[in-house]
Structure 1
Amino acid sequence: MNLTNLDLNLLVPLDALLREKSVTRAAGRLGLSQPALSSSLARLRRHFGDQLLVRNGNAYELTPLAAQLRPRAEAALTGVRLAFSRHPGFDPATSGREFRILASDYVMAVLGGAVGAILDERAPGMRLRFEPTTPSVVDQAPESLRGADAVLLPHGFLHGTPHADLFSDTWCCVVATGNERVGGTLTMDDLRKLPWVFTYLSATAFTTVARQLQALGIEPRVTAVVESFLALPHLVAGTERIGLIQGHLAARLSGVDGVRVLPCPFEPVPLVEALWWHPMHEDDPEHRWMREVFAEAGRALAPGDGRSGQVGREPLERGEQIGPGDAGAPAPSISD
């Protein structure tokens, strides 16, 4: 394909249209008029020989070709931004770069505040744009990494990709304080008989500790599923459900009455959280600096082996309740 015959100005509207699935919203995103975006869409349809957006009721959907183009358009636009944002003599104090980071609410709550504090002090012009990891992000990890600066995921989902380990954590069980079927400790029989709330539940979206339960011969009776670690305790409170939550996050929960944290009645597999990036970022000095910021925040978070699940306090006592004033620092407000 001869690039001189392409209008690369169409790349930006293509990305916006595929993201928003709406001419009106894409126009608003780019600060353009709706007729201007409609004209761009018409040119893109002629170029690809495909409708790209098709109406379904009151909304538009991506055609199969458009769905394939979406991660490619994101990756291409990221590459263009990288090409035109490189400057000799990088100085974080004067940089205005934005980094797009894909992460779960768990990682944002645990690391976000520390990373933000470092940027405020050393790179006040930089900006982090946190966006949520979703099952599709993990399923299409190589393409997802092309369209983002980094993704925060534990080991077990990505392989053969540059990464930096940030911190380790362990898992705890969460039950309601009023759950009379649970005493001061949980038993393996409790795990078999009581209902569960899971964070993610599909062939490709899961927690490794949930898979471990099955390996131990326990088939949890899952009555609720939520794609949010921060929301999980609220689906435990006032019920007989059991949930699994990371130790570092348990130490930061604030304002959740009616739940308590108990040790798992088995040795949970350790969780090692890492920052993953596409090889194209490997030698980017600004990206390298950003990676070190996350690594520094991770080191501050987890002194020693980092598996106590606590930060700045003693390990959880059996049956310790989480409530206002009992947890560690409240989770920072960050808009995954």
Structure 2
Amino acid sequence: MDLNLVVALRALLEERNVTRAGLRIGLSQPATSAALARLRHHFSDELLVRKGNSYELTPLGTALQAPVTNTCAMLERLFTSRADFQPATEQRDFTLLASDYAIAVFGAELSRVLHAEAPGVRLHFRHMDPRIVEDTGTVLSGVDGVLIPHGVISGFPTVELYRDEWVCLVAADHPGIGDHLTLDDLARLPWVVYQRLFDAPVTRQLSMLGLEPRAEVFVQSFHLLPNLVAGTRRVALIQQRLARLLHGLATVRVLPCPFEAIPLQEALWWHPVHSQDAAHIWLREVAAQVASGIAELDGHQDVPAAGQDAPRTG
């Protein structure tokens, strides 16, 4: 199959208009119509059907949108790969999928190092694609990597980054909670729950213990957990490193988990197509260095003791 048809397919599915698609990729209208005819023959589907004065995608055309976008991104990265990479002088864009937790704890320091060592590099952080679990290869093929802990995906190359522990958050003035929580407390208290469970595998561990959190608030940002716990009877699970960064932003207490919560092992995963790319190799080496620095800081951090009130701000 002519790979130029992949470019035409993306333009046709996104523009839903033969003329505009042709202008976008530099083809005449007859040439674009011919490309559409070949694509229809290949897929045995109309892909675009006229409705009034416009076109609509067929069900197959709709289903092809995401794969063809990722395929074009992968091909672009493949053909822009270099045998060497000089970070001080060259330009490059890197795209990483990550949760707000991973960006705060790891991504911020990574961006500072890139700022100092590679002024021509642009770093794009995007929200986690929910397809990462069911269609890992397709998602990874369209980006440079994903920051996600072990226990969610497997079977792809990875750089180990750092470990983190899970702790509990309760309001500083929570009635009836002292310096420790029990499993009975977790069962009876309302919860604030991070909604995308694939970023918090520890919640699955609670189910194995026979505990189903009574969720009262759902949120898609780990950063919002302290504010949604403060001044309430709610409880939440949060990563210790993030709790340290957010210390003082809400009147909450950090308490140990009343069960042996499985530690979080954060990693950078990527598609094998990037493995021999010099720029990507450099990025992975920098990521490993940043992670090593984060680990070295562990012994020098002043972490609030369990049960200590976070100071009020503002």
Shorter-chain TM-score: which interval?
Answer: 0.7 to 0.9
Unmatched tracts of structure 2, length 5 or more: none
- Aligned with 1:111 (options 94, 106, 109): 106
Mapped to 1, the partners of 2:183 and 2:237 lie a distance apart of 14
Aligned ranges 1:1-336 → 2 under 5 Å: 1=1, 3=2, 6-7=4-5, 9-10=7-8, 13=11, 17=14, 44=36, 47-48=39-40, 49-51=45-47, 64-200=59-195, 205=198, 207-253=200-246, 256-303=249-296, 312-323=300-311
Mapped to 1, the partners of 2:278 and 2:196 lie a distance apart of 38
Mapped to 1, the partners of 2:33 and 2:223 lie a distance apart of 39
Q: Against the structure 1 CA distance between its residues 227 and 53, is the aligned structure 2 distance closer, same or farther, given a 3 Å change threshold?
A: farther
Amino acid at match of 1:313: Q
**Contact 2:253-2:306 within 8 A present in 1 as well:** no
Q: Secondary structure at the match of 2:222?
A: coil
Q: Secondary structure at the match of 2:309?
A: strand
Q: Secondary structure at the match of 1:180?
A: coil
**Contact 1:14-1:41 within 8 A present in 2 as well:** no
Q: Secondary structure at the match of 1:213?
A: helix
**Contact 2:82-2:277 within 8 A present in 1 as well:** no
Amino acid at match of 2:284: R
Mapped to 1, the partners of 2:57 and 2:190 lie a distance apart of 38
**Contact 1:181-1:240 within 8 A present in 2 as well:** no
Amino acid at match of 1:235: L
Mapped to 2, the partners of 1:240 and 1:259 lie a distance apart of 11
Moved more, 61-70 or 77-86: 61-70
**Contact 2:149-2:199 within 8 A present in 1 as well:** no
CA drift of 1:184 comes to 2.2
**Count of aligned pairs between the two proteins:** 300
CA distances 1:116-173 after superposition (whole Å, capped 9, x unpaired): 1111111110011100114223332111001111011100111111001100000010
Mapped to 2, the partners of 1:9 and 1:216 lie a distance apart of 50
Mapped to 1, the partners of 2:49 and 2:248 lie a distance apart of 44
**RMSD of equivalent CA atoms:** 3.3
**Contact 1:74-1:146 within 8 A present in 2 as well:** no
Q: Against the structure 1 CA distance between its residues 207 and 125, is the aligned structure 2 distance closer, same or farther, given a 3 Å change threshold?
A: same
Q: Against the structure 1 CA distance between its residues 153 and 93, is the aligned structure 2 distance closer, same or farther, given a 3 Å change threshold?
A: same
Q: Against the structure 1 CA distance between its residues 12 and 62, is the aligned structure 2 distance closer, same or farther, given a 3 Å change threshold?
A: closer
> Scaled by the length of structure 2, what TM-score is found?
0.83
Unmatched tracts of structure 1, length 5 or more: 326-336
Higher Cα radius of gyration: 2
**Contact 2:10-2:65 within 8 A present in 1 as well:** no
CA drift of 1:90 comes to 1.9
CA drift of 1:108 comes to 0.2
Q: Secondary structure at the match of 2:186?
A: helix
Percentage of identical aligned residues: 40
Mapped to 2, the partners of 1:191 and 1:54 lie a distance apart of 56
Q: Secondary structure at the match of 1:290?
A: helix
Amino acid at match of 1:225: F
Stretches (4+) displaced over 3 A: 6-9, 39-55, 60-64, 322-325
